[in-house]
Amino acid sequence: MADRQDGYGFTAECQEIIQGKWNQDLADQAAAWISSYVPALAKASYSPADLQEKLKDGQILCALANAIVPESILRVNTNKMAFKQMENIGKFLAFCEEFGCLRTDLFQTVDLYEGVNMPTVVNGIIALGRKVSAKGGRGIGPKESAKNTRNFSEEQIRQGRDAQIGLQAGTNKFANQSGQNFGKTRAILD
């Protein structure tokens, strides 16, 4: 993880909440899924710091993208310079968006590179796994919902519009606000 000074007050509370969202089972599933495509991530269980260190340079993520869709990322940077590693992560995120993942399901480059929000990184990988599963590949996570369109005839629509609401909905014949006076009345002389 990046060398950051520990926060105080609100910053420390926010960081504590983020770290509290870490789910080791989801992280293990994500690591196992990645290793099924890319053998470089072969360890069974990772702590947030270990997973961040393994994925930080973006090379494994780019290899994952190329394993899902061949030649989707043509040039993977092997340089150890920070901006080149972050460029790899950015290429992976662009691939995920092109593949169909929602931007809101993914993480930001800094979340992974600096290890600021590793639970979001795991959730982004699982979102990609769901999309791969929806497109017929080996995926992880719950099945995505499918569109369920319904076509009603004009007759059915008219019957719905003309339907009478029974007494179960109640009545409004006796409800009014006459005689209700709460608080002090408005007076000019006050």
Angstrom CA distances, 153 to 136, 160, 161, stand at 34, 11, 13
- pTM for this structure? 0.69
More confident of the two residues 88 and 20: 88
Average pLDDT over residues 162-181: 63
Cα–Cα distance for residue pair 65/34, rounded to 1 Å: 10
Q: Is residue 39 predicted with pLDDT exceeding 70?
A: yes
Cα–Cα distance for residue pair 127/100, rounded to 1 Å: 10
- Contact in structure between 16 and 31 (CB atoms under 8 Å): no
The DSSP output letter for 145 is P
pLDDT at 172: 62
Reported as a single tens digit per residue, the pLDDT across 61-77 is: 999 999 999 989 889 98
Residue 57 token pair: 């340079």
Question: 22 pLDDT band (50/70/90 cuts)?
Answer: confident
Domain at 10-135: CATH code: 1.10.418.10
Structural domain boundaries in the chain: 10-135
Question: 190 pLDDT band (50/70/90 cuts)?
Answer: low
